[in-house]
Amino acid sequence: MSSTVTGITPSSEIWQMNKRVGLSMPEPIQIAFFTGLGQGGAAKQVVETAHLLAARGHRVQIMTYNRHKSFYKVNAEIEIIDLQGQSRILPEPIDKMFAVIRLSRAVRTSAPAVVISYTTMLNVLLGLAGRCLLRQHSALLIGSDRNSVMRYNNSQLWIWICRFFYRGLDGIFSNSQSTWHNLHALLQIPPEKTHYLANLLDTEYFCPSPERPVKTNKIWEILVPARITAQKNQKILIPVALELRQKGIDFRFVLAGLHTQPFTSELLAMIQDNHLQESFALLGQQEDIRQLYWHSDLVFMPSLYEGLSNSLIEAMACESLVLCSDIPEFSEHIRDTQNGYLVDINQPAAIGDKIIAILHQERSTADQVRSQARQSVLPYGPQTYYQHFMSMLDQFSQASLSAGHSQSTRKST
């Protein structure tokens, strides 16, 4: 970040003065989020964080390239800046590249103190802006790398790309301990420029059902709350369903999440080929997922890789029984048989047996697991999240100040 300050707002000017004498970031400040507004978990986190920050008196903007795809309601006090990065003619990656130019112009014009991008691809684009178009601007540029572990493990090229462009950012944070570790180990980002920040969770809204419904039928409802993609691994449900049917279990997998292609069509074909239509319900994206948490007998999350899943902590806050694949990202939060359940996702027979064992356990045992699940995620509530968020901004501003001082020293010598 350059020490040259031009055309900035009063809040960021005060912040720059504080940075020069080593003081913490003042409040309130102007914060901009660079993100899509579709139906993904990142967009949900952006909107909820924006609302929290605005409620604390900060001026908040959302700079987005796909406003027409907005799914989550944004309160009126949040300013939305449309970067118009969706021509619907050019390929989406090229559209986004043009959005970088408009992003840089928007940052220079509105002069936020902080710009935060969500999703790895947008981090790359913001890093590009930081290395080229925003080099002389005072905004603190921050990326959020949420679930790139699989990409890093499988692609040396992707590591090089992120390593190069992330150098245009002042800090990177992650909601996954595994990804946070990769920021050091694989991308070689200095520790002072990285931060672990768990997701924001509305622990008042996502709460136990006021009255747990009495089961009136013999069909077990198993909720799978995720968009249908290869990452979320809904295809494993087919062999698991066959295992459960073979063992005489009456059940239904309830899939609540965005239908993406070609994955949804492939899944529907597999359901039909195996005559499992009565055992599946594909509901699409739900605005009030809480009702499904309350009325499901089990929440199943078979993902191949994750960051910190919104659905996981929401379900736990609602005291749902949660069964997850035993990937590191879930194992960070689930202690098997204590606050949830873990299973080897490559073993359909073992998954079926685990589901049966969970559904037939003593109610007192299940209630203990439910209670521990909620206790595990209460630290993700708004007050704690806000404190950690502001602490992260202070950390990155101090790291940026130190880096600028080191560069000035090298130039003078």
| Range(s) of the domain holding residue 336 | 220-378
Task: Quote the pLDDT of residue 6.
Answer: 30
Q: What is the DSSP string of 303-339?
A: -SS-SS-HHHHHHHHTT--EEEE--HHHHTT--BTTT
pLDDT of residue 67: 66
Residue 244, pLDDT score: 96
- Helices 92-110, 120-131: crossing angle, 10 deg rounding: 50
Q: Contact 103/34 with Cβ under 8 angstroms?
A: yes
Instruction: Assess whether 103 and 249 both reside in one domain.
Output: no
- 170 and 278 part of one domain: no
Dihedral sign for Cα atoms in the order 298, 303, 307, 310? negative
Say if residues 369 and 340 touch (Cβ distance below 8 Å): yes
Closest CA to 170 of 122, 138, 132: 138
Indicate whether 164 and 18 sit together in one domain: yes
Distance, CA of 224 to CA of 323 (rounded, Å): 10
CA–CA separation, 237 vs 245, rounded Å? 12
Residues 163 and 242 grouped into a single domain: no
Distances (CA, A) of 338 to 80, 83, 121, 282: 43, 46, 36, 30
- Asked whether residue 369 is assigned to any structural domain, the reply reads yes
Contacts of 264 (CB under 8 A, 6+ apart): 228, 282
Q: Is residue 276 part of a domain?
A: yes
- DSSP per-residue codes, 362-399: -HHHHHHHHHHHHHHHGGGSHHHHHHHHHHHHHHHHHH
Identify the pLDDT of residue 412: 40
Which tokens is 246 given? Answer: 């073979």
Same domain, 338 and 247: yes
| Number of compact structural domains in the chain | 2
**How many helices (H) and strands (E) would you count in the chain?**
15, 13
Listing DSSP states for 222-239 in one string gives: EEEES-BSTTTTGGGHHH
Contacts of 153 (CB under 8 A, 6+ apart): none
Regarding pTM above 0.75, the answer is yes
Q: Are residues 249 and 282 in the same domain?
A: yes
* Non-local CB neighbours of 315 within 8 Å, separated by 6+ positions: 223, 225, 293, 299, 322, 373
Task: Please report whether residue 296 resides in a domain.
Answer: yes
Cis peptide upstream of residue 239 (ω within 30 degrees of 0) = no
Q: What is the mean pLDDT of each run of 10 residues along the chain (413 residues)?
A: 34 44 62 83 90 94 77 87 68 68 86 89 85 75 81 78 90 90 89 94 93 75 93 94 94 92 94 95 89 96 89 96 93 94 94 96 94 96 94 91 52 39
34 and 151 belong to one structural domain: yes
Do residues 346 and 305 both lie within one domain? yes
- Of 164, 177, 110, the closest CA to residue 137 belongs to 110
Beta bridge partners of 82: 64
Distance CA(236)–CA(302), nearest Å, equals 8
Tokens of 317: 């806050």
CATH of the domain at 289: 3.40.50.2000
> Does 85 lie in the same domain as 74?
yes
Q: Is residue 3 part of a domain?
A: no
Q: Does any domain span residue 209?
A: no
- Pair 332, 393 in one domain: no
Same domain as 348, residue 249: yes
Q: What angle do CA 352, 299, 321 make, to 5 degrees?
A: 95
In a domain, 410, yes or no: no
